Amino acid sequence: LYVLGIESSCDETAAAIIKNGTEIVSNVVASQIESHKRFGGVVPEIASRHHVENVTLVIEEALTKAGVQPSDLDAVCVTEGPGLVGALLIGINAAKAFAFAHQLPLIGTHHIAGHIYANHLVQPMEFPLLALVVSGGHTELVLMKEHGSFELIGETRDDAAGEAYDKVARVLNISYPGGPKIDQMAHESDGAVNFPRVWLEADSYDFSFSGLKSAVINYQHNAIQRGEEVNPHHVAKGFQDSVVEVLTAKTLRAAKEYQVKQVIAAGGVAANKGLRASLEKVFKEEGIPFYVPPLPLCTDNAAMIAAAGTEMFKSGVRSDWSLNGRPGMELVSWNRK
């Protein structure tokens, strides 16, 4: 069973071929980070143009690297949403053209289902499973009782974790995307500023990161007013400590309450060294299996889309030619038993 996945929701144009839902045969990512850097974030119009230039090339490269012919494929899966509408449409139209030309089933896939299924490429999922999704646009705790079943038990009420990283990075004059650099600075730091932890209501699994972001901005501002030097490493470490402590504690509490068999982390911020180490430590102590994909599978890629898409294919999910980009698409279950 060979599935082609295509991803173009943000600033990565990607195509991948997955065998039997778990084996990566090829995984090609064309990143646009360099083009967006000087603007301090992703510029939608520029993203769309790069996707147009690259989408056919990444699909061809994925096929060539895999040594797979279109006739060997069983389905084409593409990110339907959420994401930038202009960016999504490029991948969707490429997928439609490919599927139509080669008479293959077309499946629209949810980007966050993809991030979660990146783990399935590394370690078979076991249910019930708790996924901590931490990315540029999402911070969620998702409970899965079986394949294709998603229950949102908590989410951010304001900024996503990755968004907070990128905004704090701007305050510290670090270029986009700031996440990896703040992570590195925190790692190297010999001290930490003490920033607040935002827990919300005692029983809540929701998150809030905008107050923390403001605390960092105020700290920087006050120091400048007093004519004091700010140690950016200490700020990075203090910020990261706060994010990691809250994410770890809420994930642990949810894992215990729902008595899950497996905990996974997904999304770009799951590449964070501090977060990975913290989650690994607490779940080892608790005796609950914890997994996180290798770094290239945490950030946007098409292997994860093909992995989720393969499960959708097996469940009989199909899209028709009216498939359209859905910028604000909700994560809905395709399996409801």
Q: How far apart are CA 167 and CA 217, in angstroms?
A: 10
> In terms of CB distance, is 63 or 116 closer to Fe ion?
116
Least Cβ distance, residue 299 to Mg ion (angstroms): 6
Does position 272 interact with ligand ATP (CB under 6 A)? The reply is yes
Measure Cα distances from 296 to 27, 167, 257, 318 in Å. Answer: 10, 22, 31, 28
Least Cβ distance, residue 12 to Mg ion (angstroms): 5
Q: How far apart are CA 179 and CA 268, in angstroms?
A: 9
Site string for Fe ion, 106-145 (x = CB under 5 A): -----------------------------x----------
Does position 154 interact with ligand ATP (CB under 6 A)? The reply is no
Q: By CB under 6 A, how many residues form the interface with ligand ATP? A: 25
Measure Cα distances from 19 to 1, 209, 311 in Å. Answer: 6, 39, 12
Q: By CB under 5 A, how many residues form the interface with Fe ion? A: 2
| Contact (Cβ atoms closer than 8 angstroms) between residue 243 and residue 273 | no
Site string for Mg ion, 3-22 (x = CB under 5 A): -------xx-----------
Lookup: tokens for 327? 């910028």
Mind spelling out the 3-state secondary structure of 192-232? CCCCCCCCCCCCCCCECCHHHHHHHHHHHHHHHHCCCCCCH
Site string for ligand ATP, 185-224 (x = CB under 6 A): ----------------------------------------
Does position 166 interact with Fe ion (CB under 5 A)? The reply is no
Does position 163 interact with Mg ion (CB under 5 A)? The reply is no
Which does residue 70 touch among ligand ATP, Fe ion, Mg ion, none (CB within 5 to 8 A, set by kind)?
Answer: none
Which does residue 105 touch among Fe ion, ligand ATP, Mg ion, none (CB within 5 to 8 A, set by kind)?
Answer: none
Does position 11 interact with Fe ion (CB under 5 A)? The reply is no
287 appears as a binding residue in the annotation: no
Measure Cα distances from 93 to 76, 191, 255, 296 in Å. Answer: 12, 50, 39, 25
Least Cβ distance, residue 266 to ligand ATP (angstroms): 8
Q: How many helices (H) and strands (E) does the chain have?
A: 11, 10
Q: What is the DSSP string of 243-263?
A: HHHHHHHHHHHHHHHTT-SEE
194 appears as a binding residue in the annotation: no
Q: How far apart are CA 141 and CA 161, in angstroms?
A: 12
Strands of the 106-110 sheet, one edge to the other: 23-31, 12-19, 2-7, 75-81, 106-110
- Amino acid identity, position 115: H
> Which residue number places its CB atom closest to ligand ATP?
268
Phi, psi values for residue 269, rounded to 5°: -75, -15
Phi, psi values for residue 184, rounded to 5°: -65, -45
Site string for ligand ATP, 103-122 (x = CB under 6 A): --------x---x-------
Does position 148 interact with ligand ATP (CB under 6 A)? The reply is no
> In terms of CB distance, is 242 or 299 closer to Fe ion?
299
Q: Where along the sequence are the contacts to ligand ATP (CB under 6 A)?
A: 9-10, 82-83, 111, 115, 135-138, 162, 165-166, 177-180, 183, 267-269, 271-272, 299-300
Q: Which residues belong to the annotated binding site for Fe cation?
A: 111, 115, 300
